[in-house]
Amino acid sequence: MDNQKLSHDILNILERLRIMHDLMKDKNFEHIPKEELLNDLQENLDLLKTNFQKLSQ
Amino acid sequence: MDKIICLGKNYSDHIAEMKEPASEMPVLFLKPASAFIETKNNGKIILPWERGLIHHECEVVFKLYKKNIIGLGLGLDLTLRDTQKELKSKGQPWEISKVFKNSAICTPIQGLRDFLNWQETPFILKVNGEIRQESKLSNAILKPNDMIHYIDKYFPICDGDLIFTGTPSGVAALKPNDMIELKFGPIETSFQVVAQDG
């Protein structure tokens, strides 16, 4: 995967994290339950770490 | 944000004022994230007046996550109307009239729970204190979930994408230094549209 694609993916994950932050801050679980959001959070954090590691290689 | 997905011809009164035939379904087009600007209260937004008539189209904006509406804003989809008319008359694509810097203006997004009944909440655009556009989302041809299903048939929807949901009647030209006010439930903001050297 080239660096440009990795960088794009990382920025998309950060956007997702920002949305999750807003939803959790507002306790807005009407459409996406809290448990699902927490799972998404873990998945995205793992992916973020992997992508950052690849980007640094 | 990956992109802004816009619906055209989603309000009957706007189709009538444009004297255009209604299409079976609303028109879809895209604006890139680079065309986007978030309003700052009492801020200034620079527009390319040298490129001809700039029309405002006031629209409710959805923010999406996992194809769910997780927040709302009020936006202006700006259009270079002369350019659009010329391109349409030649049967050419009209992106040039829709995609330019600051052509997708939106207030900060508010959570749905900040609205009492968002589909029935009036949204209002005032220019220099005069109401130019006023409607509510329940007047749109497609209902919110139908808009997302419709878009999903054609475009990949990404988390964080915005949907500009179409404009009601009252579209008109802006002038340099016009004062713009946008009001939609808890959202209330004002700003000025200016020229580069303004």
pLDDT digits (tens, 9 = 90+) for B109-149: 998 888 989 999 999 999 999 999 999 999 999 999 999 99
Secondary structure of residue B83 in the 3-state scheme: helix
Q: Does A39 touch chain B (CB under 8 A)?
A: no
Q: Supply angle C-alpha B150, B54, B79, rounded to 5.
A: 15
Going edge to edge, which strands form the sheet with B27-32?
A: B27-32, B3-8, B162-164, B58-65, B68-77, B104-106, B36-38
Burial environment of residue B107 by CB neighbours within 10 A (0 to 12, 13 to 18, 19 or more) = buried
Could you say which of B63, B111, B160 has the minimum Cβ distance to residue A26? B111
Closest partner CB to A30 (pick from B2, B63, B112): B112
**Interface predicted TM-score of the whole assembly (ipTM), two decimals:** 0.72
State the fold for domain B3-194: Fumarylacetoacetate hydrolase; domain 2 (3.90.850)
Residue identified by tokens 């996992």 is B66
How many Cβ atoms are within 10 Å of B41's Cβ, its own excluded?
10
The residue extents of the domains of chain B are: 3-194
**Measured between CB atoms, which of B66, B111, B158 is closest to A28?**
B111
Element (H, E) at B104: strand B104-106
State if pTM tops 0.90. no
- For chain B, what percent of residues have pLDDT higher than 70? 99
Contacts of B188 (CB under 8 A, 6+ apart): B181, B182
**Distance in angstroms (rounded) separating the CA atoms of residues B87 and B97:** 8
Q: CB-based contact (8 Å) between A14 and chain B?
A: no
Q: Report pLDDT digits (tens) over A3-43.
A: 888 998 898 899 899 899 988 988 888 788 999 999 999 99
